[in-house]
Structures are given as C-alpha cells and as structure tokens.
Structure 1
Amino acid sequence: MSEKANKKFFYLGVVVALLIAVLAPFLASPNPDGLESAAANVVEESKLSELEESGPVVSSPMPDYSIEGMGKSGEVAAIVVGTLVVLAISFGFGKVFKKKA
C-alpha cells in the first residue's frame, strides 16, 4: 500500500472508531449482565457479593463509562475520550516500534 492509502485507511479507522463511540451509549442494553452472569456461574454467590462490597482497588476516573451528572452526553464524552486515549497510545507504540523499511 502507498503512504497516501495508509493515511486514508488510518483516518477512516479513526472516524469509524469515533462513530461507534458516539453511538454506543444509545445502542447498548440498559441492563447488561454478561460478565456478572458468567461470574455467577463460576464463583459462589457469597464470594461474589463479598467482592462487590469490597470496592475497587483503584478508582476509575470515569466509572461506568460516564461522566457523573452529564447523562448520555457524559457517556458519549467518556467513551470518546477513552477511544482517543487508546488510539493515541497505539499510535505512539506504532511510532516507537516501527520497522525500518
């Protein structure tokens, strides 16, 4: 692929990632339970409730993929920020570990 095609592909990927980030709060189930139900099948109920009560080891800057008090716009902002951070970190790793052609 040419350099121009690579850049076009990169920008298209960023746009798609941001589009998904913006739409995710509106398309996600209001009652997600996949991870919790899977954990319930593996871990005893008493141990699971004990883990839930103990709280997190490190608090999240944007718990539950949202910014408190902002509603859906807070969810969109949190997911967009998270997406941009992951893209920036990935881009940085790509630059650091780039193969010399």
Structure 2
Amino acid sequence: MSGKSNVKFFYIGIAIALLLAILAPFLASSDPDGLESAAGEIVEESKMSQIEATEPVVSSPMPDYSIEGLGKGGEVAAIAVGTLAVLAISLGLGKVFSKKI
C-alpha cells in the first residue's frame, strides 16, 4: 500500500472506532455478564459484598465507562475519550519502536 492509502486506512479505522464508541452504550446489555456474573457464581455472597465495599487503590477517572451526571452522553464521551487515548498511546509507541537504531 502506498503512504496515501495507509493514511486513509488509518483515518477510516479511527472513524470506525469512534462510531463503535458512540454506539456501544446503546447496544450494551445492562445485565451483568462475563467476569461479574462468573464471580457471583463462584464467590460467596458475604465475601462478594466485602470485596465490593473495599476502596480501590487508585480511583478511576471515569468509573463504569461513564462521566457522572451526564447519562448516556457521559458514557459516549467516556468511551470516546478512552478510545482516542488508546489510539494515541498506540500511535506513540508505534513511532518509538519503529525508529531504527
């Protein structure tokens, strides 16, 4: 692929990632699944409530993939910001590790 088509591919990828970030809060299930439901089946209820009551070592800037008080818009914003942050970090690491020594 040429350099121009690589850039086009990159921008299309960013657009798709942001589209998924916008749609995710509306498509996601509100029922607990995955790790949370598996832990609920394995860990005793008393221990589970004890675990949930403990404070995290480092607090999340956007807990539960949302910005408090903004509803679905806060969820969209939090996921979009996270998506852009991961893309920026990946691009930065790619540039650092692609330099020839």
Match of 1:48 in 2: 48
Aligned pair count reads 100
**Identity in percent:** 73
Separation (CA, whole Å) in 1 of partners of 2:41 and 2:86: 31
Per the TM alignment, residue 74 of structure 1 is displaced from its structure 2 partner at its CA by 0.6
Q: Which moved more, 1:40-49 or 1:10-19?
A: 40-49
Q: Deviation at 1:87?
A: 0.4
In the alignment, does 2:59 pair up with 1:76? no
Instruction: Provide the secondary structure at the position in 2 that maps to 1:77.
Output: helix
Gaps of 5+ in 2: none
Give how far 1:99 is off: 4.9
Kindly state the Cα deviation for residue 32 of structure 1 after the two structures are TM-superposed: 2.7
- The answer for unaligned runs of 5 or more in structure 1 is none
- SS of match in other structure, 2:98: coil
Q: Does 1:8 align with 2:8?
A: yes
Q: Which deviates more, 80-89 or 28-37?
A: 28-37
Structure 1 distance, partners of 2:2, 2:20, is: 27
Counterpart CA distance in 1 for 2:32 and 2:48 is 17
TM-score in terms of structure 1 length: 0.89
3-state DSSP class of the match of 1:97? helix
Separation in 2, partners of 1:4, 1:38: 46
Cα distance in 2 for partners of 1:39, 1:30 equals: 17
